[in-house]
């Protein structure tokens, strides 16, 4: 056995110390306080006579990763938010561990202090609140505040909420509302009933909504197809009020279903005969805008009413809308050709132009351009394709009648584009005609009676602005039309926000006086006479005017939204729009 020299020396010193006297047994050194065993000693034991180092205050060993004395520790990294949890600054809960990988990269732009919760009160119209959330990235959408539920109160059933959301979206989309506004309404209804992680999707004929309770639960998806469309702004306004009650007042699901059933049972505010009279009144007023007199007014009104009745008959027989427009465009053109053949002192071109005003699908055109400008390209393409088909139907109906009239009498001077419509400028007559035209449009659109006065006044303002820019300032018709339409959209949005309603009843009828009826007629007449270059020029001008109307209305609406503070502007960095690529 190998002996330990240190152990032997310590043993000898201990023996000699104990043999020095009896008092030596009370004197103990540091080595006597340690257990006398091999396991108690190591190579790191201090030699004899060297005191032990003082114990650290925290009684914890250090390592090479410990922060050296005198250095200040770094501030902890701010906890990132999540798309599925409320930020820690608004909930007061302990933040979860920071995500890593792709999740952390997607959350790199989350505000450092969290996203403030949106208060679903009537501080601003629900359209603005929901549109703001739709335009935010998914992981930055705030969670609306709601009263805490008890353990037994689990809220409404998810399938019923999704069904109600789809039914409301169906009425809005069928009534001509823009895709963004339909999604905002669906988003607001779902959020009001506690479905936070929802994604509504709107296309031209299909509505769908998906809800995922959490990351570990299966998503629930429902869809609905829009097969029939009808123009009824009375019903559209009622649905907007219902959505406002759901999103701001917090009505129950049963009350919402009851209100939706009442909306569906409501009759149209105007009977069918009133719509026919309004169609004639619209065409007569439009003929006065381009220089028509009393006889022209009556002729245009009669032709338009005949076309309206034929279109109703074609609709009752189940013919597609394309053929309905073909049939509706033929009587006004036939009345104008008849006056031209009779060599009467009546502007046949004014009669035909007035009939075209009642047929140009301005409502669908504005909705299509609005969807394209807001990023809904599939829906915009479908709407514009529909507009193209309807315009082709008008072209077929008018051209067929004009071709027959020119074959009967090739020298129809009253149909000559150079002599047809002069530079007619009578402000009093034209302003009165524009307001009358807007009033007739309100009846055709089945608007509520309390919105008719505002829309009529807005139509008069549109023509005053256009006339001042085009006739007085001699500005090109396209920018003059765009500016006038922009004011129409601005006033319409402000009126709709004041009343918490849709902007369509205040805008669609008001743009009636700006529709390119005369340019469309000139293009068709040149085609019928075989003048293709002139016809193309006129049709291009008509298309430019139509696009100017649509863009102006959309721009005016966006400017109107700037006057109201969007929810969370100061905290979230303003109202965001979708970020697009810039040519690369």
Ranges of H-type helices in 445-572: 449-467, 477-499, 504-507, 517-528, 532-561, 569-572
Query: Is 191's pLDDT higher than 60?
Result: yes
* Separation in Å, CA 69 to CA 59, 63, 72, 275, 455: 17, 13, 9, 88, 76
- Our CA dihedral for 231, 176, 542, 475, rounded to 10 degrees, sits at 110
**What burial class does residue 353 get, using C-beta atoms within 10 Å of its C-beta: 0-12 exposed, 13-18 middle, 19+ buried?**
buried
Mean pLDDT of 416-427: 60
Q: What is the DSSP letter of 29?
A: -
Query: Is 436's pLDDT higher than 90?
Result: yes
Question: What is the DSSP annotation of 347-394?
Answer: -HHHHHHHHHHTTS-HHHHHHHHHHHHTT-HHHHHHHHHHHHHHHHHH
| Interval 132-177: pLDDT, tens | 666 665 555 655 555 454 445 555 688 899 999 999 999 999 888 8
- Please give the model's pTM, rounded to 2 decimal places: 0.69
Q: What is the share, in percent, of the chain residues with pLDDT greater than 90?
A: 18
- Distance, in Å, from the CA atom of 484 to the CA atom of 473, rounded to the nearest integer, reads 14
pLDDT reported for residue 307: 92
Which of 60-64, 166-170, 389-393, 407-411 is predicted least confidently? 60-64
pLDDT reported for residue 118: 46
Q: Give the pLDDT band of residue 522 (cuts 50, 70, 90).
A: confident
**Mean pLDDT across the chain:** 75
Find, among 434, 407, 402, the residue nearest to 420 by Cα.
402
- Distance, in Å, from the CA atom of 462 to the CA atom of 558, rounded to the nearest integer, reads 18
| Interval 307-326: pLDDT, tens | 999 998 998 888 888 999 99
Q: Is residue 161 within 8 Å of residue 186, measured between CB atoms?
A: no
- Distance, in Å, from the CA atom of 382 to the CA atom of 324, rounded to the nearest integer, reads 19
Query: Is 199's pLDDT higher than 70?
Result: yes
pLDDT reported for residue 494: 83
Query: Is 122's pLDDT higher than 50?
Result: no
- Distance, in Å, from the CA atom of 336 to the CA atom of 329, rounded to the nearest integer, reads 12
Q: Count CA atoms closer than 13 A to 272's CA, side-chain side.
A: 5
Please name every residue paired with 200 in a beta bridge, in sequence order, or none if there are none: 209
Residue 536: strand, helix, or coil: helix
Which of 208-222, 470-484, 557-571 is predicted least confidently? 557-571
209-226 burial by CB neighbour count: b if 16+ within 10 A, else e? bebbeeeeeeebebebeb
Can you say how many angstroms the Cα of residue 434 is from the centroid of all Cα atoms in its chain?
30
pLDDT reported for residue 437: 92
Query: Is 21's pLDDT higher than 60?
Result: no
* Strongest mean pLDDT among 41-50, 66-75, 550-559: 550-559
Which of 24-28, 69-73, 218-222 is predicted least confidently? 24-28
Query: Is 559's pLDDT higher than 90?
Result: no
* Strongest mean pLDDT among 37-46, 128-137, 414-423: 128-137
Mean pLDDT of 502-521: 85
Mean pLDDT of 412-426: 57
Q: Give the pLDDT band of residue 582 (cuts 50, 70, 90).
A: very low
Which H or E element spans position 198?
strand 198-202
pLDDT reported for residue 131: 63
Q: Give the pLDDT band of residue 45 (cuts 50, 70, 90).
A: low
Mean pLDDT of 126-134: 62
* Strongest mean pLDDT among 4-8, 76-80, 159-163, 412-416: 159-163
Which H or E element spans position 211?
strand 206-211
pLDDT reported for residue 374: 82
Mean pLDDT of 534-540: 86
* Strand residue runs (E) in 146-218: 198-202, 206-211
Residue 193: strand, helix, or coil: coil
Query: Is 121's pLDDT higher than 80?
Result: no
* Strongest mean pLDDT among 31-45, 394-408, 437-451: 437-451
Q: Give the pLDDT band of residue 331 (cuts 50, 70, 90).
A: very high
pLDDT reported for residue 208: 93
Q: Is residue 483 within 8 Å of residue 333, measured between CB atoms?
A: no
pLDDT reported for residue 141: 61
- Determine the Cα angle at 42 with ends 40 and 43, to 5°: 160
Q: What Rg do the C-alpha atoms of the chain give, in angstroms?
A: 39
Q: Is residue 462 within 8 Å of residue 514, measured between CB atoms?
A: yes
- Measured over the CA atoms of residue 264, residue 270, residue 272 and residue 276, the dihedral's sign is negative
- Determine the Cα angle at 536 with ends 535 and 540, to 5°: 120
27 or 185, higher pLDDT: 185
Token couple for 293? 């007199």
pLDDT reported for residue 361: 84
Query: Is 283's pLDDT higher than 80?
Result: yes
- Distance, in Å, from the CA atom of 375 to the CA atom of 296, rounded to the nearest integer, reads 44
Q: Looking up tokens 């005016």, which residue turns up?
A: 556
| Interval 55-106: pLDDT, tens | 655 555 555 566 666 666 655 555 554 544 444 444 444 444 444 444 444 4
């Amino acid at each position: 056995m190998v002996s330990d020299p240190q152990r032997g020396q310590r043993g000898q010193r201990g023996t000699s110390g104990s043999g020095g006297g009896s008092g030596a047994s009370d004197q103990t050194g540091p080595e006597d306080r340690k257990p006398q065993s091999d396991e108690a000693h190591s190579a790191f034991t201090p030699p004899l006579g060297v005191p032990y180092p003082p114990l650290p205050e925290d009684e914890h060993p250090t390592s090479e990763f410990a922060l050296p004395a005198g250095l200040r520790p770094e501030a902890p990294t701010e906890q990132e938010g999540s798309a599925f949890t409320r930020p820690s600054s608004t909930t007061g809960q302990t933040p979860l561990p920071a995500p890593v990988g792709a999740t952390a990269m997607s959350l790199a732009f989350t505000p450092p202090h969290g996203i403030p919760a949106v208060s679903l009160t009537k501080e601003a119209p629900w359209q603005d609140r929901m549109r703001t959330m739709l335009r935010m990235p998914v992981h930055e959408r705030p969670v609306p505040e709601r009263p805490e539920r008890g353990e037994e109160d689990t809220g409404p059933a998810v399938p019923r909420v999704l069904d109600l959301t789809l039914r409301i979206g169906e009425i809005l989309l069928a009534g001509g509302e823009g895709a963004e506004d339909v999604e905002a309404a669906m988003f607001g209804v779902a959020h009001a009933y506690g479905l936070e992680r929802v994604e509504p999707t709107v296309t031209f004929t299909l509505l769908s909504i998906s809800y995922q309770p959490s990351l570990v639960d299966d998503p629930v998806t429902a869809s609905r197809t829009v097969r029939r469309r009808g123009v009824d702004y009375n019903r559209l306004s009622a649905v907007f009020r219902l959505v406002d009650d759901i999103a701001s007042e917090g009505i129950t699901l049963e009350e919402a279903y009851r209100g939706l059933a009442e909306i569906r049972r409501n009759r149209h505010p105007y009977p069918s005969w009133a719509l026919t009279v309004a169609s004639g009144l619209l065409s007569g007023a439009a003929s006065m805008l381009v220089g028509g007199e009393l006889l022209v007014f009556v002729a245009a009104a009669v032709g338009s009413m005949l076309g309206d009745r034929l279109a109703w008959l074609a609709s009752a027989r189940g013919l597609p809308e394309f053929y309905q427009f073909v049939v509706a465009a033929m009587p006004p053109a036939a009345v104008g050709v008849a006056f031209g053949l009779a060599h009467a002192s009546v502007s046949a071109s004014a009669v035909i132009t007035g009939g075209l005003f009642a047929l140009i699908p301005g409502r669908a055109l504005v909705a299509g351009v609005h969807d394209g400008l807001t990023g809904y390209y599939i829906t915009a393409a479908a709407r514009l394709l529909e507009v193209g088909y309807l315009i082709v139907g008008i072209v077929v109906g008018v051209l067929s009648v004009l071709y027959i009239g020119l074959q009967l009498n090739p020298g129809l001077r009253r149909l000559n584009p150079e002599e047809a419509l002069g530079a007619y400028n009578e402000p009093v007559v034209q302003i009165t005609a524009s307001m009358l035209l807007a009033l007739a449009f309100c009846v055709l659109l089945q608007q509520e009676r309390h919105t008719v006065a505002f829309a009529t006044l807005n139509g008069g303002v549109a023509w005053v602005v256009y006339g001042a820019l085009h006739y007085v300032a001699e500005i090109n018709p396209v920018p003059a039309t765009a500016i006038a339409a922009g004011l129409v959209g601005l006033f319409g949005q402000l009126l709709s926000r004041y009343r918490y309603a849709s902007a369509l009843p205040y805008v669609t009828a008001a743009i009636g006086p700006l529709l390119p009826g005369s340019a469309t007629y000139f293009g068709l007449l040149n085609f019928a006479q075989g003048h293709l270059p002139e016809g193309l020029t006129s049709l291009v001008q008509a298309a430019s005017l139509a696009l100017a109307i649509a863009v102006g209305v959309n721009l005016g609406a966006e400017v109107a939204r700037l006057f109201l503070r969007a929810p969370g502007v100061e905290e979230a960095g303003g109202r965001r729009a979708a970020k697009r690529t810039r040519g690369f």
